[in-house]
Chains A and B, each alone.
Chain A
Amino acid sequence: MIKRLSKTYIKDSVSAYVFLLPVIIGIALFTAYPIFMSLFYSFSDFNGSYATTIHLDNYKELFSLDGELIPFMSSLGKTFIYVICSTTANLVLSYLLALFLRKNIKGIRIIRLLCYMPCLIPGLASGLIWRDAFKYNAMGLVQNYGIFNTWFHKLGLPAFPFFESAQTAMFSLILSGMWGLGGGLIMWLAAFENVSPELYESASLDGAGYWRQVFSITIPLTTNMLFYNLITSMIGGLQVFGTFATYGVGTDESLYFVVIRIYNTAFGGNLGVNNEALACAMSWILFLVIGLFTAIMFKTNKWVKYSDE
């Protein structure tokens, strides 16, 4: 078979592969190789420099009640809560916003631009802004409050702990995530453009009201985009890491998401003995979890309508 490949196929396609070679090498060296090595390291005692033995200790540690099972599952649980809540809130609110902003009223372009503008601010910068805006002081020191608690104080309302309490940190993070609704908005507006105007005209002639049209035309015909957003939000959400730079692991580890735990296990710093091999094992478990949920979503996507159906 190799002989046949070399004589016919490669000869015909050699110029194409010459052009493709840089990309193939790039992917092999910087994507495939690290993925493969991380799998290898997860079965070893790799210390960031070398490995001495191959064993299953990292996976045993990860599934041991006295080991990392509880902390890891705790992080996984927090990550799932974040994914479910933030994805739901973002999809629903960005959809509603898009429904409103698709109307061709005067100045709509400016409003759309304003809604999208927060997405242009880097995540770290916006995170710092929200952290300051939500600042709270458990001792009631008003001078240490952020802008929201200062308003609450002036209105005679009790201060809200936002990120300073384990009970409210997740809510605060999801709330601050609304800042990025503009990203989803753009996608929904693009999806709406693909819905044929004739359908609305027909429905209108048949006496369907606005919400009837939304539920019977708009939503069904944008389920492909909804499915895409669900998949990417789930995968992106399960790998959430950007919060670490701004909020760390949160009060009482309330924002200790699974990728942050992987990072801290591997590189957690200069202060401790890092465990790169265990972190690799964690990464592979996370990969399997993501793969499993992605597969489930694809297996249950009968509700998605594509334009060619």
Chain B
Amino acid sequence: MKKFRFAGLILAVVMLFGLFGGCTLRDPLDIDAEMQKIIDRIDFKADSSHTGKLRIYAQSKPTELLAINAFVGSFKLKYPNIEVDLKTFVADSYIDTIKKEHSAADSSQKYDEMADVFWLTNETIPSLVNMEMIAPISYIDLVDDSFSTDALVDSMVRDSMFGGQMYMMPRDYNQFVMFYNKWLFEKCGVDEIDNVEALSAEELEGLMYRLHGIMASNKFTTPYGGNTGEGQVIDCNWAWGSVAYGLYRMFGADVVDNEGNVIFGNGDATYNAIEWVKKSVYNGYTPEPGEQSSGGFFTQYKAPFLIETRAVLTDLIKSDSKNNWAEHIGVAPMPELSTSENYSVGAGCSGYGMYQHVTNATEAWLFLKHVVSVEGQEAFGKTGNSVPVLESLLEKEDAAWRHPEADLPDDFNHDAFIYKYKDKSCVMSDFKSKIPAKSVARVAAVMQSTLTSSVNQTPATGYEARIKKNISDSVKTMEKEIAKYR
């Protein structure tokens, strides 16, 4: 036994080190005081001659690089004396990685090793707030007279908020549209659709029936092998939260009312939305929710329609290595799936947040303001993947986003991306803001899984009772979750 005493001694020392070093408890941050400290450090009069440094974290996937490089490039033109250090991380583990970086910085109190600004999405805000990683920039907005969110698309500002505070500077406006493949229309001998107004539910149903029949019976060979008989009519990831929420809203359903009471199971609206997807899947018009990420059928020329957002436009164009999408791709507004009165389009955005322990506060705030400035939005617009969040640019004919660097057909309808955006777009924050913050993630997950399980796990016929039971069970889960944190 004596032989192990020395090893035991070393172990004990290390563990004691852990006890006194790592276990240090601390009080939660006083956000009011912390934000005041940040505000005190910001030079609100900084101009283009300002000198400083700025560190930014972003994802390393091509579309994100395109976006951040556009913002950083235009920022450097505006502030040539600010040195920008851009660090990128693999997309799949991005949030986990920056959380770990924050934990390390927090443990060692070396906050200057973290980014000042980082990319994030609305979905990630709750966990980042819980870790005291992101600063509520609405505090800074209040004291900076040169800036106001009034100029931004209102739904995106709502999408950037959590618990009544704005944590993310939205960088674009993304609502769902219906891309279409002109090549397939021509092959099928079907006239192109009206891409100015949204198709009515009847028109869409007729079109799906017709295209599916022609594609299945003729089995046209696609440029990428395989044939159209293996495809679908509408390629869409219905399990995607913003799509699913838009779908429910399209049928008049919602998750909660204004008081935060669950209304997901009220009436037949939710059931009708689910049944629409179920019938479409059964008829071979669209993939099962969650079956694959959207775009696979469309980019392989096996689906004439794709429900997606502007954010993937350059990916779509690049995906077609054998043809020129510029000749084949078209875009129309999100079609009606139910009545015109209930028409609703899912929307959302991503953006950039400020680190709670920001080192270069002035530079970080200048960058966030730049993201939503005319210069920043125009630079991002040129990439082709952006619809501006700056409302004044949305309908401006010579705005860069309408004339991107990417090749697009002359009749490419940019207006489809802002179709009825003022009064018909919906964001998940519409219901998230009405329920306790800690219940948000679970309630959103239940909303999504109700669709997936009801469509994928019920038989072709006699499914009504099971779907209604699913909805009823989901309502109970949502109510329990909300009550837990209320």
Contact = CB atoms under 8 A, between A and B. Distances in A.
| A associates with B | yes
Interface of A: 5, 9-10, 13, 17, 20-21, 24-25, 27-29, 32-33, 36-37, 40, 44, 47-54, 66, 137-141, 143-144, 164-165, 251-252, 267, 269-274
B460 A273 contact: no
Interface in B271-325: 278, 281-282, 284, 288
Given A9-B2, A36-B18, A138-B459, A270 B124 contact: yes
A271 B14 contact: no
Contacts of A139: 278, 281-282, 458-460
Contacts of A27: 11
A53 B459 CA distance: 51
A28 B3 CA distance: 17
B251 to A, nearest CB: 20
Interface of B: 2-3, 5-7, 10-11, 14-15, 18-19, 22-23, 25-28, 95-96, 99, 102-103, 106-107, 123-124, 126-127, 130-133, 278, 281-282, 284, 288, 437-438, 440-442, 444-445, 453, 456-460, 484
Contacts of A252: 453, 457
A269 B99 CA distance: 11
B124 A49 contact: no
A54 to B, nearest CB: 7
A173 to B, nearest CB: 17
Given A13-B6, A140-B460, A49 B14 contact: no
A28 B458 contact: no
Contact of B26 (A20, A21, A50, A141): A50
Contact of B444 (A10, A50, A271): A271
Nearest to A17: B6
Given A50-B26, A52-B28, A267 B96 contact: yes
Contact of A48 (B131, B442, B456): B131
Contact of B106 (A9, A25, A33, A49): A49
Nearest to B485: A273
A32 B25 contact: no
B458 A272 contact: no
A61 B464 CA distance: 37
A33 B442 contact: no
B167 to A, nearest CB: 14
Contact of B25 (A17, A51, A144): A51
Given A270-B123, A274-B127, A274-B130, A50 B106 contact: yes
Given A32-B14, A140-B460, A270-B95, A49 B25 contact: no
A54 B26 CA distance: 11
Given A49-B103, A271-B445, A10 B459 contact: no
Contact of B11 (A20, A28, A49, A270): A28
Q: What is the predominant secondary structure among interface residues of chain B facing chain A?
A: helix
B131 A47 contact: yes
Contact of A32 (B11, B107, B453): B11
A165 B457 contact: yes
Contacts of A141: 281-282, 284, 460
Given A40-B19, A48-B130, 18 more contacts: A5-B5, A21-B10, A28-B10, A49-B107, A49-B133, A51-B26, A52-B27, A54-B25, A138-B457, A138-B460, A139-B458, A252-B457, A270-B96, A270-B123, A272-B127, A273-B437, A273-B438, A274-B130
8 contacts: A9-B5, A25-B10, A29-B14, A40-B23, A49-B103, A251-B457, A252-B457, A272-B445
A45 to B, nearest CB: 9
A5 B6 CA distance: 8
Pick the most buried of B10, B106, B453: most chain A CB atoms within 10 A of its CB.
B10
B6 A9 contact: yes
Nearest to A1: B5
A2 B459 CA distance: 74
A28 B14 contact: yes
B456 A138 contact: yes
- Nearest 5 pairs between A and B by C-beta? A272-B441, A139-B460, A28-B14, A270-B95, A273-B130
Given A49-B103, A138-B458, A139-B460, A270 B10 contact: no
A17 B442 CA distance: 52
Contacts of A24: 7, 10-11
A10 to B, nearest CB: 6
Given A10-B6, A33-B18, A271 B103 contact: no
Nearest to B128: A270
A52 B11 contact: no
A37 B27 contact: no
Given A13-B6, A51-B25, A52-B25, A28 B457 contact: no
Nearest to B291: A144
A274 B456 CA distance: 28
A150 to B, nearest CB: 15
A165 B456 CA distance: 10
A28 B12 CA distance: 9
A55 to B, nearest CB: 11
Contacts of B99: 48-49
Nearest to B122: A271
Contacts of B124: 270-271
A75 B440 CA distance: 23
Contacts of A10: 6
Nearest to B8: A24
Contact of B103 (A25, A48, A66): A48
Nearest to A51: B25
A37 B96 contact: no
Contacts of B123: 270-271
A212 B178 CA distance: 72
Contacts of A50: 25-26, 106-107
A37 B107 CA distance: 13
Nearest to B437: A273
Contacts of A144: 288
A49 B340 CA distance: 49
B46 to A, nearest CB: 30
Contacts of B95: 270
B162 to A, nearest CB: 11
Contacts of A44: 25
Nearest to B130: A273
